[in-house]
Amino acid sequence: MPRICVFDVNETLLDLRALDPHFERAFGDAHVRQAWFSQLLQTAFVSTITDNYKDFGTIGATALDMIATRRGVTLSQQDRTSILQGMRKLPPHPDVRDGLERLRNAGLRLVTLTNSTEQVAQEQIKHAGLSEYFERIFSADTVRRLKPAPEPYRMVAGRLGVDIGQTRLIAAHSWDIAGALHAGCATAFIHRTGMVLDPLFERPDVVGADLHEVADRILEKEGM
């Protein structure tokens, strides 16, 4: 049986750069988007380490306020809303549709697993026009532990009724790959612009510049 492909969503399938104009308007600097996402992840990881679960949307909103305070910027309600609601309406990266098509047509089973709540994830995938490719949309929120903790990856395997080694997590984030490998998944890294693998962690057996390359290598690995 070929492994089930488990896709991360934000930055892996969907392009956060669509938020840049909102950050440009609110902070006068589009690069603040990266600082925000980085603060969001920091808070998420600390909440995991200290067993203090908060949902990803709440963390995202708080991280935005922290970045604004840190930079001495007062965010209007409109700026805040356009960024936070914008997360639900991100476009897919240009290689995503073809890559998913290719994997599905080869007969692979595809699902998603995100730190966003299930409601947000459903909305994101639907708005990006990708619903037809995925048999299930999973959220870490269901087990109240965010990736890269092992519980969300295990939950996906459990719900699909397969051994965790029969899943492959596909992500553009080194930390997501590290968490999935630790939990026992196979992995694949999409080397999107500005993303790098952390050499301190085990290396995924599939690495590619986009989902075209990654899909090719996954099909090879699965002997298809």
* CB-based contact 144:39 (threshold 8 Å): no
CB-nearer residue toward a second copy: 18 or 35: 35
For the purposes of burial, counting CB atoms within 10 Å of the CB of 70, is it exposed (0-12), middle (13-18) or buried (19 or more)? exposed
Identity at 25, one-letter amino acid code = R
Residue from 74, 77, 105, 200 binding a second copy (CB under 8 A): 200
How many binding residues for a second copy (CB under 8 A)? 35
Listed ranges 60-68, 78-86, 98-106, 135-143: which one lies at the site for a second copy (CB under 8 A): 60-68
| Tokens found for residue 29 | 């600097």
Give me the 67-86 binding string for a second copy, x by CB under 8 A, dash otherwise: --xx----------------
Listed ranges 50-58, 107-115, 132-140, 204-212: which one lies at the site for a second copy (CB under 8 A): 50-58
H-assigned helices in the chain? 20-27, 32-49, 56-70, 77-86, 96-105, 118-127, 150-160, 174-183, 211-221
**135 interacts with a second copy by CB under 8 A:** no
* CB-based contact 139:117 (threshold 8 Å): yes
User: Residue numbers of the site for a second copy (CB under 8 A)?
Assistant: 38, 41-43, 45-52, 54, 58-59, 62, 65-66, 69-70, 148-149, 174-175, 178-179, 181-182, 194-196, 198-201
